[in-house]
Structure 1
Amino acid sequence: MSFKTPKFITFDCYGTLTNFEMGPAARKQYANLVPADKMDGFVESFRGFRLDEVLGAWKPYSEVVHNSIERTCKVWNVKFDAADARAIYESVPTWGPHPDVPAGLAKIAHEIPLVILSNADNSQIQSNVDKLGAPFHKVFTAEMANSYKPRRQGFEYMLDQLGCGPEDIMHCSSSFRYDLMTAYDMGIKNKAWINRGHEPACPFYEYREIKDAGGLAGLVGL
């Protein structure tokens, strides 16, 4: 079943298009500080603190990472060094796309304008976007919106900048907590969940599920 062709297809970037390697970066940085049998728990705590850090007022993403890993170290009784946090943050621009993304985007990029709304700093995002292999009409960051997802302000900013309403877009993400729950609350009817395996299905939020970016063309009838 396909959606009505939207004016824009909007995307989360990290995790959905770009392979989100924050966990692997933390594992690498803390390999000599965290015992192997505790590493999964350490990384899971880091994930949870990152979400908590973006729910308040905007701050640079370097601070989000710094605060999250510092709080994680406190919980796990691991020595914190700001240089470790900085190394994890500075790895972000090196991350590339999921293997299915360039070909999947190529099927739609010249038919419908593509847009990114990302929890990123302005200084990070372009390096990751350049690796996606497709032209993007607009790229919006949390820094531009002065707010991180899952707060609504970023979505509101994006729609204002595009000059359209919730009915005019299809929003695509691999995350319910950061994107699709908020999109649902905002009345965005056309939603695609790219199932990357890092969150369970949540049918209440009324989306179409696809296994990878190759399924996007079928959703919009291309």
Structure 2
Amino acid sequence: MSPPSYTPLELSKLKDYKALVFDCYGTLIDWETGIHTALAPLFAAAGRPTDRGTVIGAFAAVEPALQARFPTMRYPDVLALAYTTIHADLHGPPPPSSSSPSPGEVERQARAFADAVETWPPFPDTVAALQTLQRRFKLAILSNIDRATIARTRRHMEGPGGFAFDGVYTAEEVGAYKPAPEMLTFALERLKTEFGIESGEVLVTAQSVFHDIVPARGRGLGTAWINRAGAVTGKPEVGEEGQAMFVFPTLGAMAEAVETAYA
């Protein structure tokens, strides 16, 4: 599906906003490639298909349920538990004579999977787009992550050209995971307190319709959906179509649209 094109008048509405609130993993960071690279060997060892759709789909079927069950669990621990859950689903408990990894080895692999988040790279357009967007907006992250991991992830995006996020808000601070309303409430309150930015001046910018776009639209906020080609997750479900005010194929395309609006 081709991304919509916008008239100059439609693009001018981007100038109504003073802050962009980004999802991080999936929008700025190539989350799906990191997940697929780490989990595909599990599927190969079990004789299962290793394509992105199968592997990412299996992870997406497990992760939200764990987040709902353990809303205060740090995200690396959620990832490790997701890994062991998927391993058990694929391989079952290893019998005593099995050559499968021992429970201790599975736990080690699960922890390595969780720790790998900080190595996942930004999308190729992310850093340049953020540098451009910072000229027009305050930029904040609202992420289902912990403080220590996001600090390490930020090193991939900040630094070049003096760029830095104005705010970073995490599930660890809130004690909930998106799409729980507490997450967005926390970010909006911080933007108001720290920068005097009202909710009507916030544009939620994300790849996941379920986690970010739908909750934001439910509160009357502006929304920009980064509909990256090839993404397995994040697509709208039935009844969620048309939730985003703007749709762009990449963050770079959004940055170009903003510059057009200000030209």
Compute the TM-score of the two structures, normalised by the length of structure 2.
Answer: 0.76
Matches within 5 A, 1:89-108: 89-108=114-133
Shift of 1:139: 0.8
Q: Which amino acid aligns with 1:159?
A: L
Shift of 1:63: 2.1
For structure 1, the 5+ residue unaligned runs are none
Checking the alignment, whether the CA contact within 8 Å between 1:115 and 1:139 is kept in structure 2 is: yes
Q: Hey, which of these two has a bigger chunk of helix by percent?
A: 2
Q: Counterparts of 1:165 and 1:187 in 2: how far apart (Å)?
A: 12
Does residue 66 (structure 1) correspond to residue 80 (structure 2)? The answer is yes
Does residue 200 (structure 1) correspond to residue 238 (structure 2)? The answer is no
Shift of 1:36: 4.6
Does residue 214 (structure 1) correspond to residue 252 (structure 2)? The answer is yes
Checking the alignment, whether the CA contact within 8 Å between 1:114 and 1:136 is kept in structure 2 is: yes
Q: Counterparts of 2:50 and 2:223 in 1: how far apart (Å)?
A: 36
> What CA RMSD, in Å, does the superposition of the two structures yield over aligned residues?
2.2
Shift of 1:110: 2.6
Q: Counterparts of 1:152 and 1:170 in 2: how far apart (Å)?
A: 16
2:30 is aligned to: 19
Question: What secondary structure does 1:48 align onto?
Answer: helix
Q: Which amino acid aligns with 1:5?
A: D
Q: Counterparts of 1:203 and 1:47 in 2: how far apart (Å)?
A: 20
Larger radius of gyration: 2
Q: Which amino acid aligns with 1:54?
A: Q
Q: Counterparts of 1:70 and 1:55 in 2: how far apart (Å)?
A: 17
Q: Counterparts of 2:110 and 2:76 in 1: how far apart (Å)?
A: 8
Q: Which amino acid aligns with 2:143?
A: S
Q: Counterparts of 2:244 and 2:122 in 1: how far apart (Å)?
A: 26
Checking the alignment, whether the CA contact within 8 Å between 1:55 and 1:150 is kept in structure 2 is: no
Shift of 1:35: 1.9
Checking the alignment, whether the CA contact within 8 Å between 2:174 and 2:183 is kept in structure 1 is: yes
1:113 is aligned to: 138
Question: What secondary structure does 2:27 align onto?
Answer: coil
- Which range moves more in the overlay, 8-17 or 64-73? 64-73
Q: Counterparts of 2:113 and 2:27 in 1: how far apart (Å)?
A: 19
Shift of 1:168: 1.7
**Do the aligned partners of residues 17 and 192 (structure 1) sit closer, same or farther apart at CA in structure 2, a change above 3 Å counting?**
same
Q: Counterparts of 2:87 and 2:49 in 1: how far apart (Å)?
A: 16
Checking the alignment, whether the CA contact within 8 Å between 1:166 and 1:186 is kept in structure 2 is: no
2:100 is aligned to: none
2:61 is aligned to: 48
Checking the alignment, whether the CA contact within 8 Å between 2:77 and 2:114 is kept in structure 1 is: no
For structure 2, the 5+ residue unaligned runs are 1-9, 94-102
Checking the alignment, whether the CA contact within 8 Å between 1:173 and 1:194 is kept in structure 2 is: yes
Residues 161-195 of structure 1 deviation map (CA, whole Å, 9 limit, x = unaligned): 1114431201100111111111111221x211111
Does residue 152 (structure 1) correspond to residue 181 (structure 2)? The answer is yes
Q: What fraction of aligned residue pairs are identical, expressed as a percent?
A: 24
Q: Counterparts of 2:235 and 2:80 in 1: how far apart (Å)?
A: 28
**Do the aligned partners of residues 173 and 78 (structure 1) sit closer, same or farther apart at CA in structure 2, a change above 3 Å counting?**
same
Checking the alignment, whether the CA contact within 8 Å between 2:225 and 2:244 is kept in structure 1 is: no
Checking the alignment, whether the CA contact within 8 Å between 2:43 and 2:50 is kept in structure 1 is: no
Shift of 1:205: 0.9
Compute the TM-score of the two structures, normalised by the length of structure 1.
Answer: 0.89
